[in-house]
Amino acid sequence: MKLIHPKTLWRRFRAWQERPFHYKNHSQGTQHCANCGTTFNDNFCPRCGQAAGSGRVGWNTIRYGVMEMWNLESRSLLTTLWQLLLRPGHLIDDYLSGKRQTSYPPVKMLLMVAVGIDIIRNLLGIPPNGATSISEADVNSLLALYNQWAEQNQGWSYLIQGVFLIFPTWLFFRNSPRHRHHTLPEGFFLQAFMSSLMLLLDALGDFMDQWVGLLILVYIYFIYHRIFGFRLWGTLWRTALSLFFSIFTVFIIIVGIEVIYDCIR
């Protein structure tokens, strides 16, 4: 067996990261759309979107129907999750800059991942991680209660943290070299992708314990580095400030609620 040099493998991996999909015209000759009657020369009908060569129902239709039901077609959930793990920055960057066809819809993905992981955890009987006990004196502290909840529901606490990352990310990264004029809607989709990734990594954390926290930070760094294009330090301090800002906002909100509650009680 001929071994491939690691450098060659790395180069191929990098090329795949840059451009995972190749779109070719598979149609042979002129096509006649069976749905709307348009004549065209490509993979899909430009008017109604039906695939070229769709005719009478056959075995392929069944195969496609089953794949579609499980979201296994071309821009499938699994393909997108795979990309999210191996080329997260590229995938999100592609999506933000208009390459929507490369990705499963991010908000739908977040929902599917959250529900999917909960179902799998229940089936496997995996208890929520980090079930620390709370001391009697702390029971009245909302912050302590939140911290306990967040430890037991890390996935969901990442989602909350993600929401509060939208604004600081916009604040610190809005005029970046690679992505001029970063907007809040872009930030929303960025966090939707990141939250799916966090949930996924957190689920992997069932098998790799405390390393997952470090892994998540590394991922966040590389995603921000890829999308916004600041150098090492530029990315590091902006990411650190954004994370701090996000955690601090949640802290302030909880303490604020507690103070107001204490006042009216």
Provide the binding-site residues for Zn ion, judged by CB under 5 A. 33, 35-36, 38, 45, 47-48, 50
Taking the least distance from each CB to Zn ion, the nearer of 40 and 222 is 40
| Residue 71, phi then psi, degrees to nearest 5 | 55, 45
Taking the least distance from each CB to Zn ion, the nearer of 36 and 119 is 36
Least distance to Zn ion from the beta carbon of 30, Å?
A: 13
Q: Cα–Cα distance between 204 and 192 in angstroms, integer? A: 19
Number of other residues whose CB lies within 10 A of the CB of residue 97: 12
Beta-carbon contacts of residue 246 (< 8 Å; ≥ 6 apart): 161, 162, 164, 165, 168
Taking the least distance from each CB to Zn ion, the nearer of 48 and 67 is 48
Partners of residue 31 on adjacent β-strands = 40
Number of other residues whose CB lies within 10 A of the CB of residue 168: 20
Least distance to Zn ion from the beta carbon of 56, Å?
A: 16
Least distance to Zn ion from the beta carbon of 51, Å?
A: 10
Q: Which residue has the tokens 């759309």?
A: 33
Least distance to Zn ion from the beta carbon of 47, Å?
A: 5
Taking the least distance from each CB to Zn ion, the nearer of 29 and 125 is 29
Of the candidates 196, 179, 220, 222, the one whose C-alpha atom is nearest the C-alpha of residue 104 is 196
Partners of residue 39 on adjacent β-strands = 32
Taking the least distance from each CB to Zn ion, the nearer of 33 and 192 is 33
Least distance to Zn ion from the beta carbon of 46, Å?
A: 8
